[in-house]
Structure 1
Amino acid sequence: MHLSRLFQRSVHMFGDRPALALGSAAALSYAELDLRVRALARWLREDLKLEPGDRVTLAMKNCTEYAEALLAIWHARLCAVPVNNKLHPIEIAYVLENSGSRVCLSHGELHESLCATVKLIPGLQLVDVCGESWRSALAGPAMAVDPVRDGDDEVAWLFYTSGTTGRPKGVMLSHANLAMMALNFSADVLAIDEDDVLLHVAPMSHGGGIYSIPYFLRGGLQVVAPSGGLDEPELFGLLNHYRRASLFAAPTIVGRMVQHAKTLQLAARNECCPGLRCILTGGAPFYVEDIKAAVACFGPRIAQVYGQGETPMTISAIGADHIAAAVTTGDDEMLASVGYPQTTVDIDILDGDGQPVPPGATGEVTVRSPTVMLGYWDNPKATAQTLPNGALRTGDVGLVDARGLLHLKDRSKDVIISGGTNIYPREVEEVLLRHLAVEEVSVIGVPDTEWGESVTAFVVRHADASVDEAALNALCIASIARFKRPKHYVFVPQLPKNPTGKVLKDVLRETFAAIALPTHAQ
């Protein structure tokens, strides 16, 4: 299941079909893309003198070169190291050094900012994918087709975690891991064929790039937005140009799409994006009210995926039909879940001693699947802690209900313990988001001399909307146990987030400590 062999299979099956395009421009066919990929693979191995297993870092915005580079790296039996292009050069330098990368591919302003950094790392070559060496490589001879039959366990994708709890760790994902992810995608998320299109607006260094694999395997077309990211008018234009087009989008992107659709003031919801087949959502909590708003706007075309870097995009899923039916019937319990375990996934809910909890009880979500990582790069201690007996300890707190749906409560480190009782921030966040004036909210626990921790809500109001603590308290008291309601409210213009849209709760804790609000009685 080496990805280069699987791509060659697609070249034979779909040679004349469109494979890769920039915006609405003419697409490269699979046969044309194959020639470029093999030319780049030869250049990497022969001109840049890379050996099998060497790491190549991709530090760039979304572009067609990104897709070409990934395939070339795998054809040359090298390892891709994707980094978010919004990281600081110092942060990228850590990844370059820790991974021992031999080459860093980049372009534009980021390439310029990395020049000084790369000079301090011995043996590292910085290549501009818009430069002469890249163009010369594409014009050169192509590496022969020699299908790999013994490389399933080679590391294909070395993904560095966001590092919100310390230095990022390199997640080692094999070709077999990623191929099995693609099969799960087709079985549980979206069945695709050669008529399907994947639009890249989310970073290709994360879920968007990983989802390129099932599309290449099934002969689909990938389209990179010319802006290299999210531009709502551009995206909606592409969704008018293409048919059967889907995209991976964090909940924040979905929210922006909904708001943009509202500005168009179209009579029917399907008029705003006639070519849209599905929005594949994941990477951060997707709240019930936001799901309902997305379905109301785009119809039965919203799917949700739960996964981690350590088991890429593959733990559970809930398809667009299930979500649409749940909205229609008022099944908020299903909407509040992250769906059913994907086909190759076994989920256990364990207590603090590593023992299974009773059905419906809360504990740590653990996963067994052929999609689970090989381990952390050069970090056997962290690997042993995270993969005891081969099962992935996700660090997420959740439960499996009577229907088999997985419900996430929170990251284990974010659970609030107040007066000896566990309070899950997401439960409080879901309630607060029901208020029409609340656009976003994030709940944390802060030190409390009497109760240990007290619940604190950071609230972003909708533009020109007004809401006060009393109204939010009344909503909470009417919906959840009194002890779960926030004791502090902090109204902010926006929530701090990392490049993938996850709220940085550590930053919120620091913010709260700085403003030193008084503690209220429980």
Structure 2
Amino acid sequence: MNLASLLLSHAAARPSHAATIEGTTETDYATSAARMLAYAGRLRTLGIGAGDRVGLCLADTADHLLLHYAVAALGAVVVPVDHRWTPTEKRAVAEAFRCRLVLMEPGDTAAGALPATIFQASDWQHTTPIAPDLPADEDASLLISLSSGTTGRPTGAVVSHRQLYERFVSQWGGIGLSGADRFLLATPLYFGGGRSFAMSTLACGGTLIFCPPPARAPEVIEVAQARRATAAFVVPTQVTRMLECWTGEGPAMPEMRRLITSGAAMHPAQRLRALERLSPGLTDYYATSEGGGIAVLHAMEQRDFPETVGRPAFRVDIEIVDDAGAPLPRGTVGRLRYRGPGVSSALVDEHGGIVPADPQGWFMPGDLAKLLPSGHVQLAGRAKDVIIRGGVNVYPAEIEAVLLGCSGVAEAAAFPLPDPVLGEVVVAAVVATPGAVLEEAALRVVLQQRLAPYKQPQRLLVVPSLPRNTGGKVVRAALPALAG
């Protein structure tokens, strides 16, 4: 099976059904499938074939989504690249994952430093399409899902056609999405959740409604109402902002069967408000880029199990183990691991090489958790140092690498502080080299040149020293005290 063949089947079975809606423009499945084959034809003329890695550094449009399927149709591999990144960040990912080609928007200043081609939809749509007999190796690589930073040492998970399809099946069977849904895309396609649900919607024959950033909360609600959206994916920050702006009677989106949120934990009180004020279908989705869905907390469970992330997702096994990998009894906090048909079996390491995942199929996302007697998963913290700002992963090592490259900086440490709106915000502390005088304005100039806006530290502290243990390692648990 080639995942792109699903679009061709929908084009044959329901050619006039709307595949995508952007503003006032509706595009049906027959047109979408034809464009996908034409885009694949243009990629082939650019030398792209099976196994080649293609970076997609584009705005959040229906054409960007179709290009995922066009790359798949050739047996090539998608490498997501956020078009909002700085040139340094884009180049780091393109080089680390050895992209043969990166598709970029007109005017992107990073194009000159990359093997880039400017994507023009109006031009590409008139390319001679490839034949619809697509390569059918379901174990061929389709996507490298980034799982680490961009300016340091990027790593990722290799996802095959079969594994991505199994993740879609988990969403359909475990969350209840289907081809009858009108799914509202309110997050960027670069983000794992946005990309996965967008591709899943087309794979099952549904309709995808575009309303990604910079659309603000009032617009998201307005589009959801006007287009009668039945499902959507948002991060907790968006939930907070929608709750703040909605002043009408009853829930803002009463027709929405599934308002899916993921990316960060929501406070139990906020969940109850969202059920009452936004949608009675609020659903939590706990997932990773390496393996897709881990657990689902359905709307009818929100009031009884508000401090959990739900039960295991469809066809997913979860275990809580100690540091040696031995299973722990229910109710005991330990390291969470999970396995299922969508979990990646290969990873890309920091050197760009392909390494096999756990031979037993287990993946450990780095979270500490416990299993309740009911089977629900309750998270207890993160073993990893990731900062989750507004549902987006920000990695301290990436920020620290930039700061340590600044003149006069001897040491640097980035860490999170809790925030009522974003969940967590980024804070960084630096220590000056002897005799140097550090100025925040100068450091921020470098940070703005090297990092995307959402990775910028909200507070930048110049401190005499960092807390360290007797072994010389930074004690990260003590870092927040530096901020008072």
* Partner of residue 100 from structure 2, selected from 80, 99, 102: 102
Q: Equivalent residue for 1:42?
A: 41
- Counterparts of 2:151 and 2:40 in 1: how far apart (Å)? 36
- Counterparts of 1:20 and 1:518 in 2: how far apart (Å)? 45
Q: Equivalent residue for 2:337?
A: 366
User: Is the contact made by 2:369 and 2:380 (CA closer than 8 Å) also made in structure 1?
Assistant: yes
Give CA deviations for 1:18-38 in whole Å, capped at 9, x if unaligned: 101212x13111011111110
1:288-307 equivalent positions in 2, closer than 5 A: 288-307=268-287
Classify the secondary structure of the residue corresponding to 2:125: helix
Classify the secondary structure of the residue corresponding to 2:34: helix
- Counterparts of 2:458 and 2:56 in 1: how far apart (Å)? 31
TM-score (norm 1): 0.72
- Counterparts of 2:462 and 2:319 in 1: how far apart (Å)? 35
- Counterparts of 2:269 and 2:307 in 1: how far apart (Å)? 10
Quick one: structure 1 residues 357 and 510, their matched pair in 2 at CA, closer, same or farther if it must change by over 3 Å? farther
Q: Equivalent residue for 1:7?
A: 7
Give CA deviations for 1:454-510 in whole Å, capped at 9, x if unaligned: xx9945578xxxxxxxxxxxxxxxxxxxxxxxxxxxxxxxxxxx9798x99xx6997
User: Is the contact made by 1:282 and 1:306 (CA closer than 8 Å) also made in structure 2?
Assistant: yes
1:15-164 equivalent positions in 2, closer than 5 A: 15-23=15-23, 25-45=24-44, 47-107=45-105, 111-118=107-114, 124=115, 126-129=116-119, 131=120, 134-149=121-136, 151-163=137-149
Quick one: structure 1 residues 379 and 460, their matched pair in 2 at CA, closer, same or farther if it must change by over 3 Å? closer
- Counterparts of 2:324 and 2:31 in 1: how far apart (Å)? 55
Quick one: structure 1 residues 107 and 412, their matched pair in 2 at CA, closer, same or farther if it must change by over 3 Å? same
Classify the secondary structure of the residue corresponding to 1:3: coil
Give CA deviations for 1:278-309 in whole Å, capped at 9, x if unaligned: 22100112221221221121241211101111
Quick one: structure 1 residues 228 and 518, their matched pair in 2 at CA, closer, same or farther if it must change by over 3 Å? closer
User: Is the contact made by 1:202 and 1:229 (CA closer than 8 Å) also made in structure 2?
Assistant: no
- Counterparts of 1:319 and 1:252 in 2: how far apart (Å)? 19
Classify the secondary structure of the residue corresponding to 2:272: helix
- Counterparts of 1:285 and 1:514 in 2: how far apart (Å)? 34
What stretches of structure 1 of length at least 5 have no aligned partner?
119-123, 416-424, 427-443, 445-455, 463-497
Give CA deviations for 1:112-168 in whole Å, capped at 9, x if unaligned: 2213322xxxxx1x2232x3xx4332112221110443x111111112223299522
Give CA deviations for 1:342-365 in whole Å, capped at 9, x if unaligned: 121111111011111122111111
- Counterparts of 1:172 and 1:86 in 2: how far apart (Å)? 23
Q: Equivalent residue for 1:393?
A: 364
Per-residue deviation at 1:414? Answer: 5.3
- Counterparts of 2:308 and 2:228 in 1: how far apart (Å)? 30
Aligned length: 415
Give, as a single letter, the amino acid of the residue that structure 2 aligns with 1:17. H
Quick one: structure 1 residues 509 and 232, their matched pair in 2 at CA, closer, same or farther if it must change by over 3 Å? closer
Give CA deviations for 1:188-215 in whole Å, capped at 9, x if unaligned: 1133233x11222211112111112321
* Partner of residue 269 from structure 1, selected from 228, 250, 261: 250
Give, as a single letter, the amino acid of the residue that structure 2 aligns with 1:214. S
Larger helix fraction of residues: 1
User: Is the contact made by 2:15 and 2:30 (CA closer than 8 Å) also made in structure 1?
Assistant: yes
> Are 1:246 and 2:245 an aligned pair?
no
User: Is the contact made by 1:244 and 1:275 (CA closer than 8 Å) also made in structure 2?
Assistant: yes
1:201-240 equivalent positions in 2, closer than 5 A: 201-206=186-191, 207-225=193-211, 228-240=213-225
- Counterparts of 1:457 and 1:90 in 2: how far apart (Å)? 24
What stretches of structure 2 of length at least 5 have no aligned partner?
389-395, 397-414, 422-450, 467-478
Give, as a single letter, the amino acid of the residue that structure 2 aligns with 1:14. R
Give, as a single letter, the amino acid of the residue that structure 1 aligns with 2:342. T
Say what the alpha-carbon RMSD is for the aligned residues. 3.2
Give, as a single letter, the amino acid of the residue that structure 1 aligns with 2:5. R
Classify the secondary structure of the residue corresponding to 1:180: helix
Per-residue deviation at 1:259? Answer: 1.0
- Counterparts of 2:235 and 2:377 in 1: how far apart (Å)? 19
Classify the secondary structure of the residue corresponding to 2:148: coil
- Counterparts of 2:326 and 2:89 in 1: how far apart (Å)? 38
Classify the secondary structure of the residue corresponding to 1:168: coil
User: Is the contact made by 2:268 and 2:307 (CA closer than 8 Å) also made in structure 1?
Assistant: yes
Give, as a single letter, the amino acid of the residue that structure 2 aligns with 1:252. T
User: Is the contact made by 2:262 and 2:285 (CA closer than 8 Å) also made in structure 1?
Assistant: yes
Classify the secondary structure of the residue corresponding to 1:256: helix
User: Is the contact made by 1:190 and 1:319 (CA closer than 8 Å) also made in structure 2?
Assistant: no
User: Is the contact made by 1:316 and 1:340 (CA closer than 8 Å) also made in structure 2?
Assistant: yes
Per-residue deviation at 1:222? Answer: 0.9
Q: Equivalent residue for 1:441?
A: none
Give CA deviations for 1:238-262 in whole Å, capped at 9, x if unaligned: 112112432211111111111111x
User: Is the contact made by 1:250 and 1:282 (CA closer than 8 Å) also made in structure 2?
Assistant: yes
Classify the secondary structure of the residue corresponding to 1:316: strand
- Counterparts of 1:350 and 1:322 in 2: how far apart (Å)? 26
